[in-house]
Amino acid sequence: MRELLEPIVIFTHVVRAQGFSAAARKLGISKSKVSSQISMLEQRLGVQLVQRTTRSLSLTESGELLYGHSEVLLRDLDQAIASVQDLQKEIRGVLRVGITQAFGAMYLMPLLPKFMAQHPELELEVSFLDHKVDVVAEGLDLLLTMSEQLPLGMVARPILDCEFVLVASPDYLAEHGVPYHPEQLNQHNCLVYKSEWYEHGNWEFSQGDDKYEIRVKGNYRVDDAPALKDAAIRGMGVVYLATYLLEDELSNGQLVQLLPEWQLDHQLSLQAVYPRRQHLPPKVRAFVDFVRGHFGKDLPA
């Protein structure tokens, strides 16, 4: 019966417009298509629906009966479409967000009460995810990630760029000495970030036009950046860390910045990742705009 939906819609518009030509203009189709669709509908139903004259259009008893039902059908359909459109305009429902763990715990979680207060009809589900994420398979609307390998078929919108510093504890440096050039890192125990898809074992430096890359070695690799920071504080070695992880450790002397005259060239940014679609749900757009509005392009203070 689904093949009758189009001719029934056309029939209803013919009755509403009181004519084939007016209905054709309303629907943006030819008058001949209107006529052929009405004829096909009558043939399929085995009844005459419309009495046609050169000056007027009237309905048969069968036409009146069908029009009564089809008018209700179209009104319900119009209401359903309007409801869906209204839902798309409102920020409500459930928003499922995955967040890279270290940054999320330190900086995003404190912001969420403000976001929720702005959108009281919204429910928020947050997952801390530092593994390689399939956004669709895990049922997420949005992923905030610092991964350098983004999922295929996704939109990635940058939130902020991260800067890095090289640090070690005073105790470690007192025992092993202070490196003054990247090549001297060969003599040090370097703590490396390693995940299931990535190992940050090549450290890159630049000083003007002078560039240097070293494949570091060490006895400790872990897939959690705060754990690397903790290991460095405990004197286990030298580590290459994002500055957002070092709120107090440099100022209170727990860690010391090394090679300050060298620029660390590792590129990493926090990105909002979501499925590519024609119409981005307002709840997703609102969350991304909120986070971007807070952080912009700068690292948190």
DSSP 230-274: HHHHTTS-EEEEEGGG-SSTTTTTSSEEE-TTSEE---EEEEEEE
Residue 249 pLDDT more than 80? yes
Fold of 93-160+269-295: D-Maltodextrin-Binding Protein; domain 2 (3.40.190)
The pLDDT of residue 290 is above 60 = yes
Is the domain covering 2-89 a CATH 1.10.10.10 domain? Answer: yes
Residue 8 has pLDDT above 90, yes or no: no
Segment 186-231, tens digit of pLDDT: 999 999 887 654 557 788 898 888 888 889 889 999 888 888 999 9
Question: What whole-number distance in Å separates Cα of residue 101 and Cα of residue 104?
Answer: 5
pLDDT at 301: 38
Query: Domains of the chain: which residue ranges?
Result: 2-89, 93-160+269-295, 164-267
Asked whether residue 82 carries a pLDDT value surpassing 60, the answer given is: no
Count CB atoms within 10 A of the CB of residue 182: 23
Helix (H, G, I), strand (E, B) or coil at 209: coil
Q: Which helix (H) or strand (E) holds 44?
A: helix 31-45
**Distance between CA atoms of 90 and 119, rounded to whole angstroms?**
9
Alpha-carbon gap, residue 55 to 15, rounded angstroms: 14
Q: Do domains 2-89 and 164-267 have the same CATH topology?
A: no
Q: What is the pTM of this model?
A: 0.57
| 119: its two tokens | 């959108």
The tokens for 176 are: 């092993």
Closest CA to 203 of 47, 2, 218, 130: 218
Tell me which range, 73-77, 91-95, 166-170, is most confidently predicted by mean pLDDT. 166-170
pLDDT of residue 292 exceeding 60: yes
| Residue 300, pLDDT score | 42
**pLDDT tens digits, residue range 20-31?**
888 888 888 998
Residue with tokens 């450290």: 203
pLDDT of residue 299 exceeding 50: no
Q: Which CATH class is domain 164-267?
A: alpha beta
What confidence score (pLDDT) does residue 101 get?
Answer: 76
Q: Quote the pLDDT of residue 128.
A: 82
Tell me the percentage of the chain whose pLDDT exceeds 70.
85
User: How far apart (Å, rounded) are the C-alpha atoms in residues 104 and 128?
Assistant: 7
Distance in angstroms (rounded) separating the CA atoms of residues 295 and 289: 10
**CA separation for the pair 4, 41 (Å, rounded):** 7
The amino acid that residue 122 corresponds to is L
Whether 263 has a pLDDT exceeding 90, the answer reads no
Helix, strand or coil, per DSSP, at residue 191: strand
